[in-house]
Amino acid sequence: MLKRGLPPVHPGEILRKEYIQQRCLTITEVAQGLGIARANLSTIVNGRAGISPELAVKLSEALGNTTQFWVNL
C-alpha cells in the first residue's frame, strides 16, 4: 500500500463536494430523495457519522455508482 502522508477523506465530504454541491442540491432535497431524515444526512455530510450499508445501497441507486464504492470509503 502506498503511504502518501495524507489523512483519509471522510465519505460525507465526498458526498457533499462531488455530488450535492456539483448538482446544486440542498441537504433537504437529497435527504427527501433518499428517504432519510435531514438530520441524519447532515451528520454524515459534516463528518460526524459514517455511511451505513443501508445508506450505501440508497446512495448507489440514487447516484449511479456501486454500493461497494460507498462502503469502501
Residues 6+ apart with CB under 8 A from 50: 11, 44
Q: Which three cell numbers stand for residue 56?
A: 450505501
51/34 Cα distance (integer angstroms): 13
Q: Of the CATH numbers 3.20.20.370, 1.10.260.40, 3.30.465.10, 2.40.50.140, which one belongs to the domain with range 11-72?
A: 1.10.260.40
Q: pLDDT tens string for the chain (73 positions)?
A: 566 788 888 999 999 999 999 999 999 999 999 999 999 999 999 999 999 999 999 999 999 999 999 999 8
Instruction: Please say whether the beta carbons of 48 and 40 come within 8 A.
Output: no
